[in-house]
Structure 1
Amino acid sequence: MSGYSGCEVAVRAEAELGEGPTWDPATGRLVWLDILGMRIHTYDPSSGRRTVRTTEQHIGAAKPRAGGGLVLNLRDGVGLLDPDDTFRWLHHEPVPGRRANDAAVAPDGSLWAGTMRYDEAAGGGTLSRLSGAGDMRTVLPDVTVSNGTGWSPDGRLMYYADTPTRRVDVFDYDAGGIRNRRPLVEIEEGAGFPDGLTVDADGCVWVALWNGGAVRRYTPDGALDRVVTVPAPLTTACAFGGPALTDLYITTARVSLARPTALSGSLLVIPTAAQGLPQPPFQG
């Protein structure tokens, strides 16, 4: 196992709950969020230009669409944001006490959207598959904090973290369905909880550790391969970006911290960390 820190500051910020880094190849920008601050951030690493857009409710994920714009996993459902900033609901399903959390686009272009209870009640969340036409199917009921979701390079495996379980699980994936759930890794006590994740071109899984101040890389057989120390204890998610998809972007949070670090809530980056995979856009 090799370890390094190497974190650099991409955007110094004070996001309450920074999350969801996603590279948008069409615009050459990194999209990331402040869930509780209800903000969609973009960052252009070539120019340093940043934008911020406020949403009307808590937002768990924002992913590029095939025709431009973003698909948004929001408190009350999933919506579409057009390139001209026009918004419309694709699937509107408010549930009192529940909000959106992490989401990811599958190899077939569907959105796999997670939810959780505000009080984090056990089994109060879900993971659902949403087609481009707006058809939604619950794939995993009784989830507590639906978080990181990603696919192997060949698209045959799906990785998933329900954070309080301390596990990253793996499923067989085929034609939009999953089966044969089994643990890939279990995070030991005191090391934090698995939050957002991404998969690299070697099939290794990078996992951000909430309350662990680290990102870990696991091989496809579950062996710990690298540890990245992050200068913020609430490490929330990671994704590859940059023109060559070799820079690892890491989001952090400061919510609930009595004494946040100087970089809690900032967007960090590790240049040339590994080779990432192109992410499919949402087909809606």
Structure 2
Amino acid sequence: MTVEVAVRADDTLGEGPTWDAAGSRLVWVDILGARVHVHDPATGSHDVTPVDQHVGAAKPRAGGGLVVNLRDGVGRYDPDGTFSWLHHDPVPGRRGNDAAVAPDGSLWAGSMRYDEAEGGGSLLRIAPDGSATPLLDRVTVSNGIGWSPADPGLAYYVDSPTRRIDALRVEDGRVVDRRPFATVGPGAGIPDGLTVDAEGCVWIALWDGGSLHRYTPAGALERVVPLPVRRPTACAFGGPGLRDLYVTTARTGLADPEPLAGSLLVLPDMGQGLPATPFAG
């Protein structure tokens, strides 16, 4: 196993890597830096686009462009850069955080308060037409979201202070059951962003844990992968054949950040990923 630098960057809070199959590129955000990164590993090109608000996530759209989870709600950028709101819901002291596109093409968009007040965030389902359905309320730091390849009605979800990955049963676009899937023990870090591989195993980044964990579909810890940074934030498979595991990282809150903190890392040939569903709106 090797850890390489895909893009040397200085992200304050890198987050949410997603492989855009249509463009053969990786998309991620710097939440507090209010910018969206796009990287083509084949050519080495790297573009950075500033946005007007803190941006928790940016995901490819089926027709091109991006859907973004911003401070004041969810919006979309057309391929020509034109912006429009899908769900505009500003709340003082709150911002969007991690998000993911469900198998049905909707966006699951999480939020949190800047002061991380308990129960100050939520998880919403944003339909392609912009209509919003509450999935979970009174969450604190809404984070990783992913789906089982064997069961599209089974989602995995992290509210970071719980130190758990939860399994959500979804029917007709609503959460009908929530149960603990795996718990991260004391001293191992705080669960953050996640991805699910083709074997149905859940990979999760451990904030302040300097590592990734891989859990089997039964919830057993199968692998621990150490990283050269204390604050990895999320991971996603990408590159040719979806074999390379990309990891976003953060510098925020560190008095003496590691040299690679804030960069995009990659672990070549770490497994088999799943294609990301583009947002249908």
In the TM superposition, what is the alpha-carbon distance from 1:137 to its structure 2 partner? 1.1
Asked if 1:45 is matched to 2:12, the reply is no
**Alignment equivalent of 1:30, drawn from 26, 33, 41:** 26
Is contact 1:211-1:234 (8 Å) kept? yes
Aligned 1:171-250 pairs, distance under 5 A = 171-250=168-247
Asked if 1:278 is matched to 2:275, the reply is yes
Asked if 1:82 is matched to 2:49, the reply is no
Is contact 1:108-1:175 (8 Å) kept? no
**Alignment equivalent of 1:91, drawn from 70, 87, 110:** 87
In the TM superposition, what is the alpha-carbon distance from 1:132 to its structure 2 partner? 0.3
In the TM superposition, what is the alpha-carbon distance from 1:138 to its structure 2 partner? 1.2
Query: 1:189 and 1:96 mapped to 2: Cα distance?
Result: 33
Query: 2:113 and 2:252 mapped to 1: Cα distance?
Result: 17
Is contact 2:157-2:166 (8 Å) kept? yes
Asked if 1:11 is matched to 2:7, the reply is yes
Query: 1:178 and 1:124 mapped to 2: Cα distance?
Result: 19
For the aligned residue pairs, the C-alpha RMSD in angstroms reads 0.8
**Structure 1: runs of 5+ lacking an equivalent:** none
Q: Who is 1:169 aligned against?
A: 166
CA-to-aligned-CA distance 1:206-256 (integer Å, 9 cap, x gap): 000011000110000011111111111011000011131111000000001
More deviation in 122-131 or 171-180?
A: 171-180
In the TM superposition, what is the alpha-carbon distance from 1:175 to its structure 2 partner? 3.0
Query: 2:225 and 2:264 mapped to 1: Cα distance?
Result: 15
Q: Who is 2:125 aligned against?
A: 129
Query: 2:35 and 2:160 mapped to 1: Cα distance?
Result: 23
TM-score (norm 2): 0.98
Query: 1:151 and 1:174 mapped to 2: Cα distance?
Result: 13
Query: 1:66 and 1:32 mapped to 2: Cα distance?
Result: 17
Asked if 1:55 is matched to 2:51, the reply is yes
CA-to-aligned-CA distance 1:110-150 (integer Å, 9 cap, x gap): 00000000000000000000000010011100000000000
Query: 2:68 and 2:46 mapped to 1: Cα distance?
Result: 19
In the TM superposition, what is the alpha-carbon distance from 1:156 to its structure 2 partner? 2.6
TM-score (norm 1): 0.97
Matched AA of 1:265:
G
How many residues in Structure 1 have an aligned counterpart in Structure 2?
Answer: 280
Structure 2 counterpart SS, 1:244: helix
Asked if 1:142 is matched to 2:138, the reply is yes
Matched AA of 2:125:
R
Query: 1:135 and 1:180 mapped to 2: Cα distance?
Result: 22
Is contact 1:25-1:243 (8 Å) kept? no
Query: 1:29 and 1:245 mapped to 2: Cα distance?
Result: 11
- Structure 1's consecutive aligned runs of 4 or more residues displaced over 3 angstroms after TM superposition are none
